[in-house]
Structure 1
Amino acid sequence: MSFLTQNRPASRTSGVVFNAPIPEGPGIPSGPSEIGLSDLVRILRRRIRIIIAAVVIVFVLGSLYCVVKTRRYEATSDLAIYPEGSDALDMGDITASIGGGGLDFDEKLETQVRILKSNSLAWTVISQLRLDKEPTFAGRRKYILFGPYVTPDAPAQIDKTSPERQNQLLGKFRKSLTVQSIARTQAVEITFRDANPILAREVVNRLSSAYAQRNFVTRFNNTMKASDWLSGQLDQLKSRVEESQVKLAKFQKETGIFGTDENDNLVLSKLDDLSKELTDAEADRIVKEAKYRVAQSGNPELIGTIVPDSVLPVLRSQEADLKNQLALASTEFGPHYPKVIQLQNQMAQLEKALHKEVADIQERFRTDYEASAVAEKQLRASFDQQKQKAYDMSEGLSEYGILKREVESGSDLYEDLLKKLKEAGVVASLKAATIDVIDPATLPTRPVEPNIPLTLALSIFLGLGSGVGLAFLAENLDNTIRSTEDIEFLTTIPVFGWVPHFKMNQNSRLKGASSNMKAPFETEGVGPIVLLRPNSQVSEAFRSLRTALLLTSARMPPKTILITSALPGDGKTTVTVNLASVLAQQGARVLLVDADLRRGLIAEQLNIPQNFGLSGSLAGAGIWRDAVANLPEAPHLDILQSGLRPPNSADLLGSSKMHELLEDWRAEYDHVIIDSSPCLAITDGVLVAQKTDTVLLVSRIGHTPRASLRRVSELLQSSNVHVAGIVINDVGMADDYYGYAYSKYSAYYAEDEKPN
């Protein structure tokens, strides 16, 4: 929006609508009304350039990001994981009886996800594929976002990689790797991103293979450790069975007893029952003692084989992660760094929880073992007592039966445990294979980074949002008047009318004005809009202002009217020239006086030859009638220019000579329109305003500060000046309540209308 100013004369101007309220606007301090939706829309339309600029800038930045961003490909594989533990030793009932940790399926699956994310598996894949030599993985761009990859020198053997470099590689691996469980399934999804699509595929497939191998080896080794301990117990049992067989053979040789009928022998029958119970108790004690020995070892891996549902795997995984974090933090910050101390405290708490869980499991197995041992001891005592009875009854027969049953029970127990021991290895191998690759990773063909449609869409939305924010910020920081409510809140002077914004065509010109001084002048200059476009809507607006001015007094219209403003650039000169022109068009004799002796521009705007003007008349250099000029297009309009700039303009305008000139003008003209200097800049305008009938104060939308309008209103009112009202200048039609009406009747007021 541009308007006629003193620095750029007659390039743009405006029109007036009488008593028409201008649109409401935001930013009125303690204003009387709230901002509505229509006000917000007008703000956005007024600041549309800011919004468009923000959208374009952010969109260009997003486009540049899509151009320079390295293309990364994503390989994906789905694994089916069955996280239940191995029951190769058939210890499920015992495990269930002691609780087993109480982990549900989701927690077990999450444990497997943590294992897939572990540094041990990551380093295995890095070592197997030698990712430390891959430019897209271990290297970096030479120029941050573009250029060739630069890869640090890698050792010939991966084991010689420095800890710092190893941590860097692990960090990049974790950043590119994503492992997540799929809801309501026993499957997990593994994804890996890299600029090399082949490498991304190989990493995912190799990670799946390494995880399956690790799971198999870990479970198999844990089962075999328990089997090894049980083998030692079987050796002892075998020795006792052999001793019993030797005793039986010796007794048979000494006594000659090789067989007997014991069905009707009550003592021996009871002895047989106790022998069976003792055998069961001894087997139960051996199994529980085996578990107790495993628990006493304190090895979480072994304990996990006999209590697969415990929280030990989770705690062990957390311990491994904390150790890695502690090692990284200690290497980077030192042992006394707060984060390192915090990690050490967390490690201590975790170790405490781990020890407590192990201790709880040990205590449960110890209790079961001791109870089984006591039961075995009691049964053995009963058995010995019954055996003594049988011996007393028949020393030879009883001793033979005892020896025979010892051999049979020991043989049965040995064969049963030996069978389970042989099955353990095979069953453990079968149960350890709980990983199923549903879909191996395939070669990705389209990059996932950058996501160009999403990035551009987000750029548009972000630009739109930032543009709207900047628009409201600019509106909030704007301290100029924006609406009639601004004026009504700042001053008690009524709004006289408003001037819509328009732009003059530089080719629209008037012929040079003639002067009483007979000075020839043939150049062209820009003239009033009401003379150049008499049928335009702006000209009609000035004619409405003329009507309003003539009706301000019930008896007779004012003769001397001074038009002023608060600051330069408000457009008072254009309002003055066009108001004088429309008054002259009605047939009244009008004198247009340029009383801005410091920077008068009317002569320049209307292409009038320079003469002594008003300043010369006041200084006695000539008679004012000799300085009057006129326009051929406005025969009833006389123009008195400001003249040369005097050193004492305030003294001249406040002199009695000025009062005499006003009286002469009142006598010879129907109306005298005076263009004065801005009141806040200098006091010349106030001095002249005290001598005129009325004053019109011009303020410009988006230009006149609120504080300036308040001060100039107070200044004029305190100087006993009659102010008819405020003319609000340069109102945008898009922001105006009457914009729709002007748009509707624009054909009627067409600016390119042919003259009659």
Structure 2
Amino acid sequence: MNKVGAIVARHWLPLVVLNSVVAAIAVFVATTSVREWTSSAQLILPASSSNLEANLGTLGSLKNSDLNFSPQLNPLKVQQSILTSEALLDATWLSDPQNKPGDKPRDYAKFFKVAPQEQTTIMRLTVTGASPEVAKQRAASLIKAYQNRLNELRRVNNEERSQFSRKQREDAQIRLADAQKALAEFKETTGLVSSDEQIKGVVQTLNAITTVQAQAQAQAQASSDRAKFLSSRLGMNSKRAIQSIDLGENQDYLTVRRRLTEIEVSLAKLQSTYTEAMPRFQRLREERDALQQQLQGYIAQASGNTQGDANLTASTAGRATLIQQLVLAEGEAVAQQEQANQLTQKIQQLNSVLRSLPQNQARLFELQRQAEVAEGLYKGLSAQAQQSSIDAFSAYPNVQVLDPPTVDAKPSSPKTSLIAINALLAALLGSAALVLLLEARNPLLSPKDLHAIEFPFVVSIPRLKSANLGLKLNTEHPAEFQRLASTVSLQPLKNRSLLVTSAMMGEGKTTVTLGLAIALADLGFRVLIVDGDFQRAGLSSQFGQGHTSSIDNKFIKIQPNLDLMPTLPQSGRFMDIATRGKFERSLADIQSTNDYDYILVDSAPVSQSTETAMMATIVSNVLLVIRPGESLRNPVNDSLGELAQHSAKLIGLVINAVNTKSVPYTHLSNTHLSSETLVKT
């Protein structure tokens, strides 16, 4: 903190100027900024109230939630974009109180801000103006223009959607009619209605007909075998047997026989398809039985009305019976064979139908699916048209004013507190930057800067209560001056003379010179102080001798064993003295004529005068004084370099005005000054 305070103290003037400028700018901004008032209002988006739900068949169902915005789309952001659109601002500008025809500001949008509230359907609108009336009227104009714009967008959107939906519905209706027509024609052509049930019925019918066909084939075979047996017993076929009993020319007999054969064939057909309980089947059986009796009567008449018996005889009666059985057996064989053939054709047809069913079934499914999709699409478009007509605010809802525009009595800007905070931050940051810049150009001396320099001894002097030590000679001096005097007395000084200097002003060089002189005098040495500052003559002025030239060898007695050789402050005076050798001869005369143990020369700062470096060629023993928090790196380094160029001998380093109560005395002989030593001091 001490270092920071020292740095700030060094640069107080630039800091004061900088902070004054910042304060002036803040005051200027606060007094010249345009005052603005803010009007605020709240808008709310009501929730949709439509409850449409439509069944789309195979496509599922359609609810009103399917027609709302996508989850990735925020309705409030859409409304915010509409509120801040250029078209809406143009409409608002037409009714603006500050409207100038054809002179709309480019930054007119900055007066309007829309902020959607999170987790709600509320938007907050803030509008600024040069007066409360202007701000309120702008907000009202924007809300009115916004509602008109929503109505316009809603109307246009509804018309476009209706026109598009009408054309889509017409196309969908045509596709549905085509699909239903193709399905009906296919069903009519193939007779396929329910494929699973039809396949099951065809298989059952096929099994039944196959069984009946096998029975008919077996019966036909049995009747044929019986006829062959009877023919072999009679030794003739049926035709010859009939002719033998004079029936070959009987037309009635032949007619009855043909009719009997037809009935047998019809009965066989009905038996393969229907049950015997069918009325038609019963009538045909009764007609068959009657024809068989009539046929038997013809045969009996032809055989002399004699009933035959079961045994084969050569009599007429027995032969007639066999002929009758032969004729009946042949008729039954023909009828049963015809029945078997018809059943075989039926079986072939059913097998063909059964083989074509899978293909027809696939085609039926495809046509049904097309019809269902077309129907679902038509229903969906119809539902969307209904939704568009019921909920006209789906895309552009009817935004309602939750809170009308209100204006705070106090202006919203400029905010003096914000200006003050910004000014304070600018002052702090600017001050820090300025100090860093100045310190970077000429930083304070640090222990590392002197670490590589050899000093025979280093002595620290605490901060004195009074800097004007020369005016208080009776004051008890710190013990550090006694230590410094003792250390100096142990050094082998050429001509017993010592040049006390510093790199820059304010480091306490004159105070250290006077303190060291008094301490040497207290040790019993006779000491002469030479005021070698030919520009300021600080010591001479302190003791009231500002008009006396040092060349005149007029000494001032300060106290016992301590004298002062004053000088006259005059620019360029030392250059004349040095070039003529007067200063060197004056010191030689003093040393030869006066018995002084030590001659201390208080010179000007090395970095601010060329006289000190020239004195160092005469008084080669140099005691350098530095002051923490005051000494700068560049002047000290330059001063050390200049002294080294003039072959000066640094016999010691005095660290003046150290802010510690007790600093240990350190006496180093031909050693390096360590950074730890400087830190302690």
Query: What TM-score does the superposition give when structure 2 sets the normalisation length?
Result: 0.56
1:79 and 2:43 equivalent?
yes
User: Within 5 Å, which residues of 2 pair with 1:501-512?
Assistant: none
For 1:45 and 1:680, the matched residues in 2 are separated by: 21
Distance 1:459 1:83, change over 3 A: farther
User: Within 5 Å, which residues of 2 pair with 1:592-611?
Assistant: 592-595=529-532, 600=537, 602-608=539-545, 610=547
Number of the residue aligned with 1:305: none
1:438 and 2:402 equivalent?
yes
Give the unaligned 5+ runs of structure 2.
Answer: 192-380, 664-681
Match of 2:117 among 163, 176, 182: 182
For 2:566 and 2:537, the matched residues in 1 are separated by: 7
Number of the residue aligned with 1:405: none
Deviation for aligned residue 1:423: 10
For 1:430 and 1:107, the matched residues in 2 are separated by: 13
Match of 1:194 among 129, 133, 144: 129
Match of 2:501 among 564, 578, 588: 564
Number of the residue aligned with 2:288: none
Deviation for aligned residue 1:50: 5.6
For 2:474 and 2:9, the matched residues in 1 are separated by: 30
Number of the residue aligned with 1:464: 428
For 2:64 and 2:397, the matched residues in 1 are separated by: 26
User: Within 5 Å, which residues of 2 pair with 1:353-502?
Assistant: 369=171, 373-383=174-184, 428=392, 434-479=398-443, 481-489=444-452, 495-498=458-461, 500=463
Deviation for aligned residue 1:570: 5.7
Distance 1:649 1:114, change over 3 A: same
For 2:592 and 2:42, the matched residues in 1 are separated by: 101
Deviations 1:701-728 (A, max 9, x none): 6766534433543554566654321234
Q: Please tell me whether the aligned partners of residues 462 and 659 of structure 2 are also in contact (alpha carbons under 8 angstroms).
A: no
SS in 1 for 2:581: helix
User: Once superposed, what is the RMSD of the aligned Cα atoms?
Assistant: 4.8
Give the letter for the 2:449 counterpart. Answer: D
Deviation for aligned residue 1:490: 6.0
Match of 2:660 among 715, 724, 738: 738
Number of the residue aligned with 1:628: 555
User: Within 5 Å, which residues of 2 pair with 1:90-101?
Assistant: none
Q: Please tell me whether the aligned partners of residues 590 and 672 of structure 1 are also in contact (alpha carbons under 8 angstroms).
A: yes
SS in 2 for 1:449: coil
For 1:429 and 1:677, the matched residues in 2 are separated by: 93
Q: Please tell me whether the aligned partners of residues 550 and 557 of structure 1 are also in contact (alpha carbons under 8 angstroms).
A: no
Give the letter for the 1:201 counterpart. Answer: K
Q: Please tell me whether the aligned partners of residues 51 and 64 of structure 2 are also in contact (alpha carbons under 8 angstroms).
A: no
Deviations 1:617-660 (A, max 9, x none): xxxxxxx4xx22324xx243222234694734244257566435
For 2:156 and 2:426, the matched residues in 1 are separated by: 56
Deviations 1:533-583 (A, max 9, x none): 744xxx634x52243122345599994322234567765445434433444
1:291 and 2:168 equivalent?
yes
Number of the residue aligned with 2:88: 121
Distance 1:95 1:679, change over 3 A: same
For 2:382 and 2:549, the matched residues in 1 are separated by: 133
Deviations 1:11-55 (A, max 9, x none): xxxxxxxxxxxxxxxxxxxxxxxxxx8755764576567656655
Give the unaligned 5+ runs of structure 1.
Answer: 1-36, 139-151, 155-161, 231-287, 294-368, 391-416, 505-527, 617-623, 742-756
Q: Please tell me whether the aligned partners of residues 499 and 727 of structure 1 are also in contact (alpha carbons under 8 angstroms).
A: no
Deviations 1:651-676 (A, max 9, x none): 425756643532444xx233322234
For 1:123 and 1:441, the matched residues in 2 are separated by: 20
SS in 2 for 1:540: coil
Number of the residue aligned with 1:662: 591
Give the letter for the 1:487 counterpart. Answer: L
My pick for the range that moved more, 704-713 or 37-46, is 37-46
Q: Please tell me whether the aligned partners of residues 44 and 471 of structure 1 are also in contact (alpha carbons under 8 angstroms).
A: yes
For 1:555 and 1:419, the matched residues in 2 are separated by: 114
SS in 1 for 2:406: coil
For 2:10 and 2:506, the matched residues in 1 are separated by: 20
Distance 1:651 1:108, change over 3 A: same
For 1:609 and 1:433, the matched residues in 2 are separated by: 96
- Over alpha carbons, which structure has the higher Rg? 2
1:727 and 2:633 equivalent?
no
Deviation for aligned residue 1:192: 0.6
RCO higher in 1 or 2 (8 Å CA, sep ≥ 6)?
Answer: 1
User: Within 5 Å, which residues of 2 pair with 1:535-684?
Assistant: 535=475, 540-541=477-478, 544-554=480-490, 559-566=496-503, 572-584=509-521, 588-595=525-532, 600=537, 602-608=539-545, 610=547, 613=550, 615-616=551-552, 624=553, 627-631=554-558, 634-642=559-567, 645=573, 647-652=576-581, 658-665=587-594, 668-676=595-603
Q: Please tell me whether the aligned partners of residues 51 and 464 of structure 1 are also in contact (alpha carbons under 8 angstroms).
A: no
User: Within 5 Å, which residues of 2 pair with 1:153-164?
Assistant: 154=101, 162=102
For 2:382 and 2:517, the matched residues in 1 are separated by: 124
Distance 1:671 1:200, change over 3 A: same
Deviation for aligned residue 1:179: 1.0
Deviations 1:428-455 (A, max 9, x none): 4899763222111123222111122222
Distance 1:721 1:434, change over 3 A: closer
Distance 1:478 1:193, change over 3 A: same
For 1:470 and 1:544, the matched residues in 2 are separated by: 38
For 1:68 and 1:102, the matched residues in 2 are separated by: 49
Number of the residue aligned with 1:203: 138
Q: Please tell me whether the aligned partners of residues 220 and 425 of structure 1 are also in contact (alpha carbons under 8 angstroms).
A: no
Q: Please tell me whether the aligned partners of residues 40 and 407 of structure 2 are also in contact (alpha carbons under 8 angstroms).
A: no
Query: What TM-score does the superposition give when structure 1 sets the normalisation length?
Result: 0.51
SS in 2 for 1:551: helix
State the percentage of identical aligned residues. 20
SS in 2 for 1:710: helix
Give the letter for the 2:640 counterpart. Answer: S
Q: Please tell me whether the aligned partners of residues 695 and 725 of structure 1 are also in contact (alpha carbons under 8 angstroms).
A: yes
Aligned residues: 466
